[in-house]
């Protein structure tokens, strides 16, 4: 390879500001969930226009926490899109409930509202739409298509800053969950956030996050009787974020709009430059909303492409450009095949998305030369 490059599919944008933020918990001595986490929760809830926010160890634990707080358990069914990260379905299994897989829309990669509605039974407790790659799901359409008693939990793992019809995602449904994994737009290393406008659900989730305790560790240590142990009223979990992560998260949140605007500029540039490639379908900005551009995921048309998708990805890798399939079709994963025996063709669009999507690099540590090089290599295929 003459041009020795290594353009990563994603890289977190962290540096001196995050390094300095870590001094706060180190110097205060409060390393577990404490004042930095509380401040991060307040600032994130205000940014996402939600009444409440709860910081957790990951989006996976956040989804699990939210489902338990919603009362999901054995005998219940939860509808999830098949084309998503596997955690969206796994958390339903953690509750002893059954994930029911819906197909997706090929233009957005999000849940097919009509198919999801057709799957509702008397056992359906909730639906988990995913704002995949930062594209908002059709929340109004989904709510209108579902019975009123069916809860909506937004998987907004990719959705920090994502806007649906003028509303920030995460509190449009009954609750939402965000991820701060390093592949997301902002990061705390690992970590996540649960958001909701439902005070009762928030209170229950807050207790469940901290082993089911009646008060938090911060409340106990700052209370009049810190030597008294709390009561444990629920069977809970230890899903608490550390103040290290809270401090970094606050700094990252300050930069989120800058990150999204930079990504949106280059996403629009990609769209213009790659529009002439007829075998490549491109993501787009939604009407009345905003894509948060966690990833730039394309679709390779197998009927028009000069090479199979995997060969295209291999060729780009040889030229120093990292790519990835968009994500999994969960109903094709071995655990779910073995347990539920769903035929691959039962959800053909999710299957095709697994086989034909291709994410190309888009992150805040790329430069103009990187983008030009990627476009040139794609056009050369």
Is residue 106 within 8 A of residue 351, CB to CB? The reply is no
* 271 and 135 both lie in a single domain: no
Q: Residues near 153 by Cβ (< 8 Å), separated by ≥ 6?
A: 63, 66, 67, 70, 126, 127, 128, 173, 174, 175, 176, 177
pLDDT tens-digit map of 337-359: 999 999 989 999 999 999 999 99
pLDDT tens-digit map of 40-53: 999 999 999 999 99
* 208 and 347 both lie in a single domain: no
- Is 64 inside any structural domain? yes
Q: Tokens in use for 165?
A: 């019809």
- Is 3 inside any structural domain? no
* 102 and 144 both lie in a single domain: yes
3-state secondary structure of 105: coil
Q: Is 352 exposed, middle or buried (0-12, 13-18, 19+ CB in 10 A)?
A: middle
* 50 and 182 both lie in a single domain: yes
**Structural domain count of the chain:** 2
* E strands, the chain, in order: 52-56, 77-81, 98-102, 124-127, 151-155, 163-164, 167-168, 175-179, 192-196, 280-281, 296-300, 357-360
Least confident piece of the model among 160-164, 224-228, 362-366? 224-228
Q: Look at residue 232 in the predicted model and tell me its pLDDT.
A: 86
Residue-by-residue DSSP string for 3-56: S---B-S------HHHHHHTHHHHHH---SSSHHHHHHHHHHHHHTT-SEEEEE
Torsion of CA 277, 271, 177, 13, to 10 degrees: 110
- Is 291 inside any structural domain? yes
* 245 and 265 both lie in a single domain: no
- Of the residues 98, 125, 168, 184, only one is catalytic, namely 184
pLDDT > 90: percent of the chain: 93
Give the confidence band of 256 by pLDDT, cuts at 50, 70, 90: very high
* 124 and 105 both lie in a single domain: yes
Q: What is the spatial distance between Cα 175 and Cα 156, in angstroms, rounded to a whole number? A: 10
Q: Residues near 26 by Cβ (< 8 Å), separated by ≥ 6?
A: none
Sheet holding 192-196, edge to edge: 52-56, 192-196, 175-179, 151-155, 124-127, 77-81, 98-102
Q: What is the spatial distance between Cα 188 and Cα 63, in angstroms, rounded to a whole number? A: 17
pLDDT tens-digit map of 118-136: 999 999 999 999 999 999 9
Q: Residues near 292 by Cβ (< 8 Å), separated by ≥ 6?
A: 131, 134, 158, 159, 160, 161, 162, 163, 185, 260, 263
Q: What is the pTM of this model?
A: 0.95
Q: Look at residue 223 in the predicted model and tell me its pLDDT.
A: 57
- Is 4 inside any structural domain? no
- Among 217, 236, 254, give the residue marking a domain's end: 254
Q: Tokens in use for 59?
A: 């989006």
* 164 and 34 both lie in a single domain: yes
The stretch 6-11 carries a mean pLDDT of 97
Neighbours of 26 (CB within 10 A): 12
pLDDT tens-digit map of 63-112: 999 999 999 999 999 999 999 999 999 999 999 999 999 999 999 999 99
Residue 341 carries which DSSP code?
-
The stretch 280-293 carries a mean pLDDT of 97
Q: Tokens in use for 25?
A: 């918990």
Distances (CA, A) of 260 to 70, 94, 195, 374: 32, 33, 20, 20
CATH of residue 151: 3.40.640.10
3-state secondary structure of 88: helix
Sign of the alpha-carbon dihedral angle for 2, 371, 132, 112: negative
- Among 190, 220, 254, give the residue marking a domain's end: 254
* 58 and 112 both lie in a single domain: yes
Residue 170, by phi and psi: left (phi above 0), alpha (psi -120 to 50) or beta?
Answer: left
- Is 10 inside any structural domain? no
* 239 and 263 both lie in a single domain: no
- Is 260 inside any structural domain? yes
> What is the distance in angstroms between the CA of the first residue and the CA of the last residue of the chain?
16
Is residue 131 within 8 A of residue 103, CB to CB? The reply is no
pLDDT tens-digit map of 165-182: 999 999 999 999 999 999
Residue 211, by phi and psi: left (phi above 0), alpha (psi -120 to 50) or beta?
Answer: left
Sign of the alpha-carbon dihedral angle for 320, 326, 330, 331: negative
Q: What is the spatial distance between Cα 271 and Cα 162, in angstroms, rounded to a whole number? A: 19
Residue 363 structural domain = 256-380
* 199 and 73 both lie in a single domain: yes
Is 184 considered catalytic here? yes
- Among 254, 272, 297, give the residue marking a domain's end: 254
- Is 7 inside any structural domain? no
- Is 321 inside any structural domain? yes
* 145 and 289 both lie in a single domain: no
* 264 and 234 both lie in a single domain: no
CATH of residue 372: 3.90.1150.10
């Amino acid at each position: 390879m003459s041009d020795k490059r290594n353009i990563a599919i994603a890289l977190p944008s962290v540096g001196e500001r995050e390094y300095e933020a870590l001094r706060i918990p180190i110097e205060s001595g409060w390393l577990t969930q404490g004042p930095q986490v509380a401040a991060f929760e307040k600032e994130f809830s205000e940014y996402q226009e939600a009444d409440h926010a709860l910081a957790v160890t990951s989006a996976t634990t956040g989804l699990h926490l939210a489902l338990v707080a919603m009362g999901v358990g054995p005998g219940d069914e939860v509808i999830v899109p098949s084309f998503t990260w596997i955690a969206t379905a796994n958390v339903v299994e953690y509750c002893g409930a059954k994930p029911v897989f819906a197909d997706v829309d090929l233009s957005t990669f999000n849940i097919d509202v009509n198919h999801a509605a057709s799957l509702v039974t008397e056992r359906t407790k909730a639906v988990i739409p995913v704002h995949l790659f930062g594209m908002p799901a059709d929340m109004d359409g989904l709510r209108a298509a579902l019975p009123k008693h069916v809860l909506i939990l937004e998987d907004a793992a990719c959705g920090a800053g994502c806007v649906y019809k003028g509303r920030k995602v995460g509190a449009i449904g009954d609750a939402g969950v965000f991820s701060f994994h390093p592949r997301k737009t902002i990061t705390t290393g690992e970590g996540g956030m649960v958001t909701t406008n439902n005070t009762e659900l928030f209170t229950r989730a807050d207790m469940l996050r901290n082993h089911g305790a009646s008060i938090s560790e911060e409340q106990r240590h700052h209370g009049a009787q810190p030597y008294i142990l709390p009561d444990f009223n629920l069977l809970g979990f230890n899903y608490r974020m550390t103040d290290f992560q809270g401090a970094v998260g606050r700094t990252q949140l300050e930069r989120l709009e800058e990150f999204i605007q930079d990504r949106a500029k280059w996403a629009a540039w990609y769209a213009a430059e790659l529009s002439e490639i007829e075998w490549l379908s491109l993501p787009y900005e939604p009407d009345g909303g905003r894509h948060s551009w966690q990833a730039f995921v394309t679709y390779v048309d197998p009927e028009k492409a000069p090479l199979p998708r995997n060969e295209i990805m291999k060729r780009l890798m040889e030229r120093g450009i990292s790519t990835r399939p968009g994500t999994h079709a969960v109903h094709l994963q071995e655990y779910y095949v073995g347990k539920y025996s769903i035929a691959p063709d039962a959800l053909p669009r999710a299957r095709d998305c697994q086989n034909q999507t291709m994410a190309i690099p888009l992150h805040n540590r790329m430069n103009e030369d990187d983008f030009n090089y990627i476009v040139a290599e794609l056009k050369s295929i």
